[in-house]
Each structure stands twice: as structure tokens, then as C-alpha cells.
Structure 1
């Protein structure tokens, strides 16, 4: 797909691919005069001999992270391990719930942490401005075999981290297509009390919302916050794809937001708002405020991705009692046609080092350690299950900021769910062992620390079990912008989507009627949508 831009694009991408091939293969090649294999022990020795190394980071706040007593983002099991293994002191400059905004301000001011994460727009800004360290040699010398094995199958992703033939970032990679789909989540005890076993159609969903209001005292039918996240997660129910680029009716690539299915979805959400199914104050509510309605017993459904069990699992039980957690089911459909689930380009986060920092290799070393602890250590016998579990529960695996990658979990999910459901243990990776034992904590002992994982992969209709079926049934719809973004898209950033979200909100709240959708799309086109669409077709369209 990267060859669709003609001869110039071909030469550019060919050069990048060759550079990546060099990066990935160089450690496997050796000279008879000077062996290139750098072992993990040598890397540790090189670092610790230099004395303490300080590295500053900026971190996103992980809302559901639960630290051990006396610990926090600056002092925890990961920072202690990094200190013990490498004599590296990780210093946290700041933690924020508005991470992208904070990074944008840091880029503008030039006051960057030593290491941090960025999205693809920010990455391109930093690369063009020469504000990042070249990581090519650090990757060549320090990347562990496990990290290289993860990078190898994802060259399309690595290409987006290259600039002038140099590796400027370590991509976080992705968990797999099965982890990207959406689900309808509903309160378990209310489902059972109303005898609801499945929700296949939009009408079924409306009947469920009404039953929860009538029979269970729910104040609202479903949850929504100011980001319109649940609207976007449920758009597939209407065969709408408002956040990805798709083939249009004339064969050209168009933004899904401009197609009539998105208008149909908005009309239905506006109807639900008018009927009182949605909190009237949603436009001012963040995620935490939205979830409080669930914790207070005022709502029992919403559309969300596979990890919703950490939002409406343990905290539901703590607030509303046993059996009140939400469970997943497939999205309802507006008709009998198969639902497809939109897939954005599968790498959204990159780990980078600010220009001028003296030890860029630290980034690679600490990512190696993350992989070793969570996926390799149990199998190679360097850590026991009991030693590893604290690193992977209570969202501790999400607090490391730039020192993280995402593992592909398709086979893990199959192994774990099958082992739990059949009672016959068959686990093929360290992550699978962790997931399995985490689930058993809930299933056998009622320990809430394992409930989120149970709701992901511990029963027949767990979210990721359903997600596997979405992949197996060919229900993934990938965006046409698969890889690098055209410059016009980078230039506009989130401006065009922000315009749409503002307009969608007005329609849902009834401030504007559904006919305003056509006005909104026309405004989007004139504000830059046409320019971006043209750039997308030039880069990815049919030639």
C-alpha cells in the first residue's frame, strides 16, 4: 500500500524499508574482527559502571492505577527495578490527565522531559523540528532479541518512526485487531433480573434501556460523555465509520463522517437524548463524571471497548454490591447486515528521547526490561509467577510511560479463555500465564483484582473472546490511511475532528435538528476537509 504514491513514493519507501531492514538485521550479522552481539548482561554492566543515570519523564495519569502503600508514579515497583538493574533513577517531571495538551505545550516551549511518548502528529512535528535524538545506534546495540522479534513483523509501523533514514522513535506496537473492536456493556444483575439474554437489534437495545429504567430505577438509558466516545464506539451498529477513511460510493476515499450512515446514527442518538435516555449534562461531563452515574445505580449500559471491565467491574461491586458489574455482548445492529468494526492504524503511541539527552540507550534498555518481566521472565525462570503478578495487575503495566510496548495477544486470549472455560490448562506465553492466574484470583477467590481480566477473557462472552470471533469472522474494517499520514492531515491536527464533535453534540442535544448535519459537513469541507481528502487520495487512492 505504500507504493501507491508513484515513483517518488516508491523510492522514498524503498529507502526506508532498506534502512529498517538494516536496523533489524544488524545484530544478527557479525564481523570476524569484531562481534556485534551485545548481551543483556553487557548492557547492564555498561550502564551501572557509569554511576547513577538520571532520566526525566512526563506521564499520563492512569485513572485506575492502584499503587502499593507509600508508592506513586515516582516510586514504585518499576522504578525500583530500573534502579536495581541499571542504576537508573527515573524522575517524574509531571503527571497529567491532559497528556496530549501538556506535550503540545512542552513542544511549543521546548521544555521537554528526557523521555516521553507522543502521537504520530507530535512525532512528525518533533522530527521536522530536529528536537529528537536518533535512536538507530541505540536500537542496534541494545535492543533485546524479544524486542526485535516484536518489531520485525511490523515494518509498516516502523516506517512511520523513520526520518531521513534514521530511527527516531520506538513504536509501542499493538495488541492485535481483536483488541480494537467495540461492545455493548450492560449491568449483569439487571440483565438477569429482566431475563435479557441477548441484544441483537437497536430495538432490543431500546427495550433494554426502558426495562432498566422501569424495573431497576435507572435514571438514564445509556452513558455518554463530552468526548462522544460511546457514540463513536456504537457507530458500527448503524454501519457508520465516522473516525476512519473508507471507500466512498464513487470509488474515491472519503472520511466516514461524511457518509449518510453517520447522519442516521446521529438522528438516533438525538432521539435517545430527547427521550431522556442520556444524561442532559453529558456535554460537560468527563469520563469520571459519566461513570459516577453507573456507580450510583443511575444507568446500566454503555458502548465501550474490551477493557471496560476495569471501569465498571470492581468499582461497581464496591459501590453497588455483588453481581452488579457490567458484562459484554456484541453490538446491536440497525438491520440484519453484518457489523464491521473500524480499525485505525494500529500504532498510536511512540516513545522518544529529546535532542541532547546523553543516554538515549536507556529508552531501549528499559523497554527490554518491560518485555522481559511481563513476557519472558516466567518462561526463562528468572522470576516466579508471584513475583511477576504485581507488575501486571492494578494497572501497574500501564504506568511506565515511554518504557512500554504492547504485546500481540490473539493466541494468548485463545489459550487463556479455553483454559478457564474447559478447566484444562494450556498456556503458551508468560503473558498468558499472568492473565490466567489473574482470572483465577477472581474466579476461585473473589479477589476483585482479577475481575477486569475475567470480564476480558474469562468466560464464553467475555469481551476479547467476542473480539476473537470478530477477527475470525472477517469483521475488521481498516482505515484506508494505513501508515504515514499525508502532510495536510498532520497540519490540521485535531482541528477538523473538533469541529465535527462540536456539531455532533449540538445535534444530539437538539440545539440543532438533524438537517444541520449537512451544513456541518459542508463547513468541514471548507475548513480543510476537502484539502485533506485530496491529499489522502493522492497518497492512498487508486491510480
Structure 2
């Protein structure tokens, strides 16, 4: 198959409306279709020669809001004085102090809100998209457009460029950049169907493409003793009480891909075929998906015990199922444990089921959800950009042979503390296409087309683990995890021609602050009850009416104004 890659095509409801979905009614959000991939290896300038990392001649200080990591400090170290902070200060001559600290997301968000409400924000901090909007509206943060253009490192800029402009657009208002966003990995969003290939071969079954194929395989896995223990104790398709993850990254046993095949995108704000903003959980396509799932549950295709599991991975690690939905990284967990329990297991991933036009459809997660902002009036806004440059370079191991970096890695190995726990800001960046990019380069290195020593540190590690797995496939589980995640996860995403549907709104409106928890509870309970047969499929229509009545219509109006009004 000729390898292709997704390119960003911002086209509201165009692609999905141009091809009919399962009920002949196209709907979707911003959709993106794959194109030809262009891989480039960027030169890595010396940290001493690149002005993006330029060291101040005289020390400067910056006060920040700091998110305390869950890990405990190493003996004798503190959150603002440790090997990592001292390394950063030595390179930049920037002294970082903590205006305040907060542990875990909820407490940190409260601290940020308090700072905003009191108009007393630190020189720099990380905020969510709602806080960003409030800070911009109240003119409390710096315009970083020129500072980023002048001081952003080539590495950071390349990572933002990999989002095709989406990340920086999310942080911009009126054409001005007010925050430095994090970048999520695209591959984390699609939910793939993982199947035991050894079971398929034992039962002489072909890999699935359609809903009917998936149903047939599930029935055979239930009825034909694929594990050969003489008992009828295997299940078909496991599930998760959440039903779908929606805007979130893919999780174990979710049904997101089944909904997407019907062109239903629950928990995502999208635009319909007429270009109107709509909440994805209330569109008619959801009713078709729910009807299919309810039918499968009633006939045992979906495991009738899935609502009773304490942990979603239970049937997987016990090798009681031969199929489940999950992201590209499942070989790392829970498949590594499943294979350790049954070394005969051979898992592979498939981008299925396809829609009625033979396309694989997937919704996407937000490209970014956090933003690094600078207090208006802080005299060294470029210092914040330089700090982002430095810890991103360290995170991506752009100086792996440096004695100082090796010393930091030794510290991490000895204490068990991740270096990122000591970064000044909880804002990690990577290439949006990092997983598919690594897959391609690893395959080239394995074929001898490129020198493995030229690979970036992350890719080189995957390459080395893949080599180890090929040399000793059953005994090197670290190699097995890396090789299978790359080949069957990243490789599948790279070679699959797919349509990506991206939500158009990920924030919170005024009415959401009070109404959203109740509406989410109504939605989650209705979807689950319909699937397990506690409610008829007609309950979906009642849910839509009730959702609208309880504030959904007002929220939709608010989202529409924000979507159409943001420039």
C-alpha cells in the first residue's frame, strides 16, 4: 500500500456531507483527509550558537505559578532548586521563583482563577482555554507575536508547524498570539480495533472491514473455543461504562469508532451539513449507533458483563477476549501483560469498521488545551519563550551526548523522578505526527535506507527496541512493546486513508458552568441504559428533548456566538 498522511483541510462539514453516511445524511465538524506525507530531518543547532537559547549577560528573574508534581522531591531538593532548575539557570541565566504552588489539576486551576480574579497574576503561568480568553478580554497578558517570531527555537516552531497552524490559531485572538500552546499527538485520538491474529488464523477467519464482519468474528470468538481450553468462556467485544470518550484521547474498550462509522460524534461540538453549530451527541446518527450497540448487547456480541468490570483491562489481560478498541499505545499497556500471560497471543490492529462508503472515520482530540502566558508589563517576555525552548530541547533529548544531560538522566534513574516534574511549566510539546513520523523512520533504518545514528533520540530508542525484539521476540518484552506499538499502531495510522473530524469548540460557556454536569449525567446514563436494554431506543428522542430543555439550546447559542465571533 502506498503510504499516505493526513493533511489539514479546514472544511466545515464538506467531506462528510459529500459522501453519504450510514443513514444517508452527512454531518460533521472540521474534517481532514490524508495526503502524501513529507518527512524532513531538521538540523539541530548548537545550544550555544542558537540565539533562541541566548544566555543573558546579567541574571534576570521570573516569578511563576507552579504545578507541584505527584512525585516527591529527591532528598535535599526542592521544587524551585534542584538539578533541573540549576541546569536551566546555568544555560539561560534566568532565575525562576515560585509566586505560588498548587498540587494536581483542580487546585492549580483554582489558584489560576484566584490570581485572575484578584488581578495579581505571576510573570508567567499555564492556563486553560477559558482562562486564556478571560485574560485576553481583560488585557492582562502580553501579545507574544513578535517575541515568539524572534525568539522561538527552530525545534519549537517545527512542532507548532506540524499542527498546520491549528495550535497557534487556538492561542490567537484578533490575529495576535497571546499564549504558547502545548501540542497533542494526533495518534492519541483514533480508537483502533485490536484483534488476536492467532485466533483469526486458528478459526480460518479474515480480518474485518464492516460491522457484519466484526459481528461474525465476535460470534466465532464466543462459540468456537479460540483459546482451545475446551470451555465456552471467551467473550466477544468488551465495552466501557463511559461508552465514548468523545473529546478526550482514545481509551480502552470505548465505542467511539462504532459511532464514527455512522458519522455520529458524541461529546464533540461540530457543524452540521447546513453549517450550523450542533452538539454531536444529539444528532440522529447517534440513534443508529445506539440501536446497533443495543442489538449486539442483547445477542451477546458485546460482553454482557462489561458494566461490572472494576478496570476496563480485566478481560484483555486475562485473555478472555480476542478483540477490543483502543489507541496505538496498547502494546505498552495492557497488551504487554496479556502477552506475558499467554505467550501464544499475537495481536494486530485494524482501522475498522468502515462507513457505508468504505472510509475509516475518526474524531480528533483537541490539538492543544493549555497555554503559557506572560503577565502584561513583565519586562522580559522573551525569557518565557527561552525557557520553553530550553526544556523542550531537554525533553526531546536534542543534546543526548552532553555530560550535563547525562548527569540529569542519571539523577532521574537513581531517584525515579521524571525530569519533567521539575520543568517550570507543565506544557509538553511534540510533533503532532510524532508517532507516524517515528514509524516511517524506524522502518527506513531497519531496511538500511538511513543511518540509525542519525535518528532523533526518541526514534532511535524505538529502533533499538525493535531490533532487540526481532532478535529475541518472545523474551524481550520492552522490544515487543515498542515494535508492536510502532508497527501495528503508528504504521496502521500512517498507511490508512482516513477522514478525521475535528471539533470546533472545546471550551466552557457561562451556562455550562452550572448546567453541564447535569447534562453530561443525563447523556451518559441514557446512552448506557439504551445499550444494556434498560431503556428502549426511543429514549434517545426523549433525551434530546430533555437536553435541549435543561439548557442545551441556550448553550448551543453561546457556543455558536463564540465559534463565529472568534477572529
Q: Per the alignment, do residues 527 and 375 of structure 1 end up closer, same or farther by CA in structure 2, a change over 3 Å counting?
A: same
Match of 1:213 among 207, 222, 234: 222
Q: CA deviation at 1:389?
A: 9.5
Within the alignment, does 1:225 sit opposite 2:249 as a pair? no
**Inter-CA distance 82–529: structure 2 relative to 1 (3 Å threshold):** same
Structure 2 CA distance for aligned equivalents of residues 476 and 188 of structure 1: 27
- Is 1:437 matched up with 2:488? no
In the alignment, which residue of structure 1 is the partner of 2:556? 533
2:337 to 315, 322, 334: 315
Q: Confirm or deny that 1:342 pairs with 2:363.
A: yes
Over aligned residues, Cα RMSD in angstroms? 4.9
2:133 to 124, 145, 149: 124
Cα distance, 1:172 vs. partner? 1.0
Structure 2 counterpart SS, 1:476? strand
Moved more, 129-138 or 217-226: 129-138
**Shift, 1:501, TM fit:** 2.0
Measured after TM superposition, the shift of residue 338 of structure 1 is: 2.0
**Distance in 2, Cα, partners of 1:60 & 1:246:** 35
Query: Would you say 1:157 and 2:184 are equivalent positions?
Result: no
Q: 2:53 aligns with which of 34, 40, 52?
A: 40
Question: Counterpart of 2:183?
Answer: 173
CA gap of 1:314–1:325, structure 2 versus 1, over 3 A, is farther
The answer for the alignment partner of 1:304 in structure 2 is 326
SS at the partner of 2:536?
A: coil
- Which residue of 2 is the match for residue 26 of structure 1? none
CA distance in 1, matches of 2:419, 2:238: 27
Could you tell me how far apart the structure 2 residues matched to 1:251 and 1:89 are? 47
Q: CA deviation at 1:454?
A: 1.8
Query: Pairwise mapping of residues 37-436 of structure 1 onto structure 2 (< 5 A)?
Result: 38=51, 40-43=53-56, 49=59, 56-59=66-69, 80-86=83-89, 99=105, 101-107=106-112, 118-124=127-133, 139=148, 143-151=152-160, 155-162=165-172, 167-176=177-186, 180-214=189-223, 215=225, 216=227, 218-228=233-243, 229=245, 230-250=254-274, 252-278=276-302, 282-283=306-307, 289-318=311-340, 320-324=341-345, 326-333=347-354, 335=356, 337-351=358-372, 364-373=385-394, 375=396, 377=398, 382=402, 402-409=426-433, 412-413=437-438, 415-419=440-444, 422=447, 424-425=449-450, 430=456, 431-436=458-463
Cα offsets for 1:76-105 (capped at 9, x unmatched): 9x9744433426789996765xx4x45455
Change (3 A) 1:95 1:314: farther
Measured against aligned partners, the alpha-carbon deviations of 1:13-61 in whole angstroms (never above 9, x if no partner) come to xxxxxxxxxxxxxxxxxxxxxxxx8452515x75xx5699997324589
Pairing partner for 1:448 from 477, 480, 487: 477
Flag the 1:190–1:259 CA change in 2: closer, same or farther, 3 A: same
Flag the structure with higher helix content: 1
Secondary structure at 1:226's aligned position in 2?
Answer: coil
Cα contact 1:314–1:325 (8 A) shared by 2? no
TM-fit CA distance, 1:209: 2.5
- In 1, Cα distance between the equivalents of 2:380 and 2:442? 42
Number of equivalenced pairs? 483
Deviation at 1:204, TM superposition (A): 2.1
Shift of 1:164: 8.0
Query: Could you list the runs of 5+ residues in structure 1 that have no partner in the other structure?
Result: 5-36, 62-66
SS of the residue 2:195 aligns to:
strand
Per the TM alignment, residue 513 of structure 1 is displaced from its structure 2 partner at its CA by: 1.4
Partners of 1:304 and 1:405 lie apart in 2 by 23
CA distance in 2, matches of 1:264, 1:257: 12
Query: Normalising by structure 1, what TM-score?
Result: 0.70
What is the CA distance between 1:515 and its match in structure 2? 0.7
Q: Determine if contact 1:182/1:234 at 8 Å carries over to the other structure.
A: no
- Alpha-carbon distance in 2 for matches of 1:384, 1:200: 51
Question: 1:115: how far off?
Answer: 7.4
Moved more, 87-96 or 514-523: 87-96
- 1:231 Cα shift? 1.7
Structure 2's unaligned 5+ residue stretches are 1-8, 13-49, 246-253
Residue by residue over 1:161-184, the C-alpha shift from the partner in whole angstroms, topping out at 9 and shown as x without a partner, is: 2468875432112434x5533310
Q: Distance in 1 between matches of 2:448 and 2:170?
A: 43
| Secondary structure, aligned partner of 2:360 | coil
Per-residue deviation at 1:412?
2.0
8 Å contact 2:67–2:103 — kept in the other structure? no
Counterpart of 2:28?
none
Residues 167 and 249 of structure 1: CA distance in aligned 2, closer, same or farther (over 3 Å):
closer
Shift of residue 520, structure 1, vs aligned partner: 0.7
